[in-house]
Chains A and B, each alone.
Chain A
């Protein structure tokens, strides 16, 4: 099992640019979560999907953020336009909703917006 795979691992971009982060969940998991981690706020849930359907996006900071899950094996988190305050580590995690509560995280995508 390859685990949750995120790309890119590191991204440095300039303010105003579009950023797309990608996630491949563990095969068979039917829930997918996007988290953002900063020193000030810790781990914040941005959005989660169940069976590819967004269930709760109340954590998405503003309209500049969007997330999609076109199929069970792929999700994207997009920021457009990016701002320096978006700099953080973004984690994707997946879980089998009906089973044990084992949320498995990817290694994260570290975003720096200059």
Chain B
């Protein structure tokens, strides 16, 4: 089946630093999404990317849809303590009239004050 690879499993950064996360796959996706999960909550959508090469920003977050449609990255600039959480990438494919998302295993981000 389709798999999305996120590594490393955990990242530790200092407050104020920038951080970049990659997501790769051997499969092609039509849409890439980045979600963040806070402790005890469900994942929340951060950024959605719909076209190969697309670069989209949302505040301090920037994400890009890879040209090959097999990868995406998420950048967080000037990290703050509330950036702590699990960051998931997700890819969407279409199967006829329906579609579903495949999620990576996530990267747990810790921010030291």
Interface residues of A (CB under 8 A from B): 4, 33, 35, 41-43, 45, 48, 50, 55-56, 91, 93, 97, 100-108
Interface residues of B (CB under 8 A from A): 31, 33, 40-45, 48, 50, 88, 90, 92, 95, 97-106
* Docked-complex contact B41 and A43, CB < 8 angstroms: no
Q: Pick the contact of A102 from B48, B95, B98 — CB < 8 Å?
A: B48
Residue of B43, B45, B92 most packed against chain A (CB within 10 A): B43
Contact A105 B33, CB 8 Å, known A43-B103, A45-B101, A48-B100: no
Complex: A62 Cα to B1 Cα, angstroms: 18
* Docked-complex contact B33 and A55, CB < 8 angstroms: no
- Across the interface, name the chain A residue whose C-beta is closest to B6: A42
* Docked-complex contact B98 and A97, CB < 8 angstroms: yes
Chain B residues with CB under 8 Å of A102's CB are 45, 48
* Docked-complex contact A43 and B88, CB < 8 angstroms: yes
Chain A residues with CB under 8 Å of B100's CB are 33, 45, 48, 56
